[in-house]
Amino acid sequence: MEEEWVVKRCQLRQVWLEHPEWSRQKMAEAVGCSKSWVKKWLHRIRSVPLEDQQVMYGLSRTPKHPPPGFSPEVINKILEIRDHPPRLLGRTPGPLTIL
């Protein structure tokens, strides 16, 4: 699927270079995508130099900021509950029970 998307983006770039006077709707019909898709990708394609092929692969899907970690106090408390569970529990607590 990813390859098809890259091909569509390359087609859009080619159509834009050959026919810069075309409307977004006409480019969308030529590429076979929606007008909003053409608007989004034309903005991205125009924002980088023509030599830059990396834009065709889209943006990274990884989070920009990793989730915050647990404080050492919380980790120690979880380990304490796991190693020495409450007597009334009668079993080794799992992750859902501890949290």
**Residue 2 burial (CB < 10 Å; 0-12/13-18/19+)?**
exposed
Please give the residue that has the higher pLDDT: either 26 or 52.
Answer: 26
Are 7 and 52 in the same domain? yes
Examine residue 73 and state whether it is found in any structural domain, yes or no. Answer: yes
Tell me: the pLDDT tens digits for 38-97? 999 999 999 989 888 888 888 777 888 888 998 999 889 888 888 888 888 888 888 888
Q: How far apart are CA 44 and CA 56, in angstroms?
A: 9
Q: Is the pLDDT of residue 35 over 90?
A: yes
Q: Is 79 helix (H, G, I), strand (E, B) or coil?
A: helix
**Given this model, what pLDDT does residue 61 score?**
76
Are 49 and 81 in the same domain? no
**Given this model, what pLDDT does residue 88 score?**
83
Examine residue 63 and state whether it is found in any structural domain, yes or no. Answer: no
**Given this model, what pLDDT does residue 21 score?**
95
Are 16 and 38 in the same domain? yes
Are 7 and 51 in the same domain? yes
Are 53 and 34 in the same domain? yes
Please give the average per-residue pLDDT across 28-45, as a whole number. Answer: 94
Are 51 and 73 in the same domain? no
**Given this model, what pLDDT does residue 67 score?**
87
Please state the domain count of the chain: 2
**Given this model, what pLDDT does residue 59 score?**
77
Using alpha carbons only, what angle is made at residue 41 by residues 38 and 43, rounded to the nearest 5 degrees?
Answer: 105
Are 73 and 53 in the same domain? no
Examine residue 62 and state whether it is found in any structural domain, yes or no. Answer: no
Q: Which domain holds residue 15?
A: 2-57
